[in-house]
Homo-oligomer: A and B are copies of this chain.
Amino acid sequence: MKEVVRSAHLPRGFKFSAVSCGIKASGRLDLGLVEATPGTTATAVFTRNRVVAAPVEAGRAALVSSRGRLRAVVVNSGNANCATGKPGLRACQRISRELAGLLHVPQEQVFPSSTGIIGVRLPVEKILAKLPALKDAAEPAGIAAFAQAIMTTDTRPKLASACFHAGKHEVRVLGVAKGSGMIHPQMATMLVYLFTDAAGTPSQLKQILRRVCDATFNCISVDGDTSTNDTVLLMASGQSGARLTDAHTTDKFENSVCDVCQDLSQQIVCDGEGVQHVIHLHVTHAKTREEALRIARAIANSCLVKTAWAGADPNWGRILAAVGSSGIPLDPNRISIWIADQMVCRGGVSCDFDEEKAHQALSEPRCKLQIALQRGTASAQFLATDLTADYVRINADYST
């Protein structure tokens, strides 16, 4: 991890820290802070679950009332502060107010996040007691500890970075994420924090973040379950001197953010709960990208397909059945399926293939599957995972 941080492109204008405040019984790091330089702009994408946690409500409100300016982010793991009613919202407010006082910044420029168990009251006093220590520890290299403090069932911290040159300026983009279970497409997935020293207005950042999320975090799935706390936050300090004024710089910036998010997406999927095989789904020849994504999700969420992957079983009939139940009015007789580079189904019908070779391909940690629909020219790529007995074990005793 230290090596990763040493080689990471750390954007100027941000400091990080983490402490253990006692929410996690294990004593591991469970409280993190991001401190941003004055003038930092920000935007965020949140869960589309109707049930949202208190910090999601509070974070959304903060971005509105601060008009997209942020000076700090405070995150706890081990408790989602969700389904906690008004006391949950008051807890967020107390933490933001206290931290704002310590940092001498407006309260609405503090962004709160939480992740962990749902329905248990947030132990506010434990958090408040540690805010001064958190503030004192903040430094640019603190990102390593911060990445650990936001983990729940993750087995490793997730960090990615990129940099590009805009004229004489070097722009850096850094992302940190947590996520392992409750990973479902169609929304910003889990907690992701993106930092850059480019300068952009909140509305510029917003448009870029939406497009990037659609192409990255919305194209992965671990278990088809949608979190109540999903948040992707992008903060821009402007400290590099580069501004998102010309199209060339903006494109380069969007590509860098996209690279970082793509990298984090893959890290999240590879660290998915109990995951042994990651499947790169490529749905081609669809009428629209939306249609291709819907079919990818139907495959990625099928228990029978996922368990077949767990056994490296080239049972493509289950994939065909999942495609057939996706709700798209397609003609099964035009569907073809490839496992790695081998065609296993042509026009909805079995074709001769080397089963052992297909089994070997599926036994690798990563395998490509293509599904061609012969309906049009659109396509989508999607990262899916197998469903293993380990996933069941991890989730059969989470709270008890």
Q: Is the CB of B392 within 8 A of A226?
A: no
Docked-complex contact A325 and B391, CB < 8 angstroms: no
**Judging by beta carbons under 8 Å apart, are A118 and B51 in contact?**
no
Identify which of residues 172-229 in chain A touch chain B, using a CB-to-CB cut-off of 8 Å: 181-182, 184, 223-228
**A121 to chain B: closest residue by CB:** B350
- Tell me, in angstroms, the Cα distance from A347 to B83 when the chains sit together: 9
Determine if A51 and B323 form an interchain contact, defined as CB atoms under 8 angstroms apart. Answer: yes
Q: What are the 3 A-B residue pairs with the smallest beta carbon separation, nearest first?
A: A118-B317, A51-B324, A311-B396
Contact A83 B348, beta carbon cutoff 8 Å: yes
A318 to chain B, nearest CB (A): 7
| Nearest chain B CB to A297 CB, angstrom units | 13
Q: Is A303's CB under 8 angstroms from B224's CB?
A: yes
With both chains docked as a complex, state the minimum distance between the C-beta of A332 and any C-beta of chain B, in angstroms. Answer: 4
- Measured between alpha carbons, how far is A97 from B373 in the docked complex, in Å? 34
A389 near B393 with CB under 8 A, answer yes
Q: Looking at chain A's contact residues, is the secondary structure mostly helix, strand, loop, or mixed?
A: loop
Which residues of A come within 8 Å of B, CB atoms?
Answer: 48-52, 80, 82-85, 117-121, 181-182, 184, 223-228, 301-305, 307-308, 310-318, 320-326, 328-333, 345, 347-350, 355, 359, 387-389, 391-400
| CA distance in complex: A308, B303 (Å) | 16
Asked whether A332 lies within 8 Å of B50 as measured between CB atoms, the reply is yes
Asked if A49 meets B389 with Cβ closer than 8 Å, knowing A119-B350, A308-B395, A318-B118, the reply is no
Which of A317, A323, A389 has most chain B Cβ within 10 Å?
A: A317
The residue from B310, B320, B331, B359 contacting A396, defined by CB atoms under 8 A apart:
B310
Contacts of A388 in B (CB 8 A): 392, 396
B residues less than 8 Å from A395 (CB atoms): 303-304, 307-308, 310-311
Determine the distance from Cα of A396 to Cα of B311 in the docked complex, in whole angstroms.
Answer: 4
Residue numbers in B under 8 Å from A117 (CB-CB)? 315, 317
Query: A191 CB to closest chain B CB, in angstroms?
Result: 15
A391 touches B303 (CB 8 A): yes
Given the contacts A345-B119, A348-B51, A391 and B228 also touching, CB distance less than 8 Å:
no
Contacts A304-B223, A330-B50, A392-B388 known; A83 to B349 CB distance under 8 Å? yes
Compute how far the CA of A350 lies from the CA of B82 in the bound complex, rounded to whole angstroms.
9
Name 17 interchain pairs, CB-CB below 8 A, sorted by A. Answer: A51-B320, A80-B317, A83-B348, A84-B349, A85-B349, A119-B345, A119-B350, A120-B350, A224-B302, A224-B303, A228-B320, A228-B321, A310-B392, A310-B395, A312-B400, A389-B393, A392-B392
